[in-house]
Structure 1
Amino acid sequence: MSFNDKSITELHQLLVSKEISALDLTEATLEDIKNREGSVSSFITIAGEAALTQAKALDDKGIDPDNVMAGIPLAVKDNISTKGILTTAASKMLNNYEPIFDATAVEKLYAKDMIVIGKTNMDEFAMGGSTENSYFKTSKNAWDQTKVPGGSSGGSATAVASGQTRLSLGSDTGGSIRQPASFNGVVGLKPTYGTVSRFGLIAFGSSLDQIGPFSLTVEENAQLLNVIAGADHRDSTSAPVQIADFASKIGQEIKGMKIALPKEYLGEGIDPEVKEIILKAAKQFEKLGATVEEVSLPHSKYGVAVYYIIASSEASSNLQRFDGIRYGFRAEDANSLEEIYVKTRSQGFGDEVKRRIMLGTFSLSSGYYDAYFKKAGQVRTLIIQDFANIFADYDLILGPTTPNVAFDLDTLNHDPVAMYLADLLTIPVNLAGLPGISIPAGFVQGLPVGLQLIGPKYGEEVIYQAAAAFEATTDYHKQQPVIFGGDA
Structure 2
Amino acid sequence: MDYYKTNIDQLHADLVAGKITSADLTADTFKAIAAKDGEVQAFLALNQEAATASAANQDDQGIDADATLAGIPVAIKDNIVTKDLTTTAASKMLANFVPIYDATVIERLQQAGMIVVGKTNMDEFAMGSSTENSAMKITKNAWDHTKVPGGSSGGSAAAVAAGEVLVALGSDTGGSIRQPAAFNGVVGFKPTYGRVSRWGLIAFGSSLDAIGTLTRNVRDSAHVMNAIIGADEHDTTTVPRPQEDLGAKIGQSVQGMKIALPKEYLGKGVDAGVRAQIEAAADQFRAMGATVETVSLPHTQYAVPTYYIIASSEASSNLQRFDGIRYGFRAKDVQSLDSVYVRSRSEGFGDEVKRRIMLGTFSLSAGFYDAYFKKAAQVRTLISRDFENVFKEYDLVMGPTTPTTAFGIGAKVTDPLTMYMNDILTIPVNLAGLPAASVNAGFVDGMPVGLQLIGKAFDEATIYQAAAAFEDANDYKDQTPGGQN
What band does the TM-score fall into relative to the shorter chain? over 0.9
Aligned to 2:428: 428
Q: Secondary structure at the residue paired with 1:260?
A: strand
| C-alpha separation in 2, matches of 1:44 and 1:275 | 35
Q: Secondary structure at the residue paired with 1:98?
A: coil
Aligned to 2:180: 180
Aligned to 1:142: 142
| C-alpha separation in 2, matches of 1:243 and 1:455 | 19
CA contact (8 A) 1:190 1:435 kept: yes
Aligned to 1:314: 314
Aligned to 1:390: 390
CA offsets, 1:442-465, max 9 Å, x none? 100000000000001011000000
Q: CA deviation at 1:4?
A: 5.1
CA contact (8 A) 1:439 1:452 kept: yes
Question: Counterparts of 1:280-295 in structure 2 under 5 Å?
Answer: 280-295=280-295
| Counterpart code for 2:86 | L
- In the TM superposition, structure 1's runs of 4+ consecutive aligned residues that sit over 6 Å from their partners are none
| C-alpha separation in 2, matches of 1:122 and 1:318 | 18
1:486 lines up with 2:484 in the alignment? yes
Aligned to 2:72: 72
Q: CA deviation at 1:242?
A: 3.6
| C-alpha separation in 2, matches of 1:312 and 1:276 | 34
| C-alpha separation in 2, matches of 1:356 and 1:242 | 38
Structure 1 unpaired stretches of 5+: none
| Counterpart code for 1:420 | Y
Q: More displaced, 239-248 or 200-209?
A: 239-248
| C-alpha separation in 2, matches of 1:417 and 1:268 | 16
Question: Counterparts of 1:426-465 in structure 2 under 5 Å?
Answer: 426-465=426-465
1:58 lines up with 2:58 in the alignment? yes
% same residue: 62
Q: CA deviation at 1:92?
A: 0.3
Question: Counterparts of 1:85-484 in structure 2 under 5 Å?
Answer: 85-482=85-482
Q: Secondary structure at the residue paired with 1:423?
A: coil
CA contact (8 A) 1:3 1:28 kept: no
CA offsets, 1:138-193, max 9 Å, x none? 00000000000000000000010000000000000000000000000000011000
| Counterpart code for 1:106 | I
| C-alpha separation in 1, matches of 2:193 and 2:380 | 15
Q: CA deviation at 1:308?
A: 0.2
Q: CA deviation at 1:243?
A: 4.4
Q: More displaced, 326-335 or 83-92?
A: 326-335
| Counterpart code for 1:316 | S
For normalisation by structure 1, the TM-score amounts to 0.98
CA contact (8 A) 2:3 2:166 kept: no
For normalisation by structure 2, the TM-score amounts to 0.99
CA contact (8 A) 1:4 1:164 kept: no
Q: Once superposed, what is the RMSD of the aligned Cα atoms? A: 0.9
* CA 114–127 in structure 1, closer or farther in 2 if over 3 Å, else same: same
Q: CA deviation at 1:396?
A: 0.2
| C-alpha separation in 1, matches of 2:282 and 2:361 | 42
| C-alpha separation in 1, matches of 2:97 and 2:155 | 19
CA contact (8 A) 1:231 1:242 kept: no
CA offsets, 1:17-65, max 9 Å, x none? 1111110000000000000001110000011111001111111111111
* CA 3–20 in structure 1, closer or farther in 2 if over 3 Å, else same: farther
| C-alpha separation in 2, matches of 1:156 and 1:242 | 30
| C-alpha separation in 1, matches of 2:478 and 2:20 | 24
Q: CA deviation at 1:2?
A: 4.1
CA offsets, 1:97-121, max 9 Å, x none? 0000000000000000100000000
| C-alpha separation in 2, matches of 1:345 and 1:3 | 41
CA offsets, 1:247-299, max 9 Å, x none? 10000001110000000000010001100110000000000100000000000
Aligned residues between the structures: 485
CA contact (8 A) 1:2 1:29 kept: no
CA offsets, 1:422-474, max 9 Å, x none? 00100000000000100000100000000000001011000000000111111
CA contact (8 A) 1:254 1:466 kept: yes
Q: Secondary structure at the residue paired with 2:55?
A: helix
CA contact (8 A) 1:3 1:25 kept: no
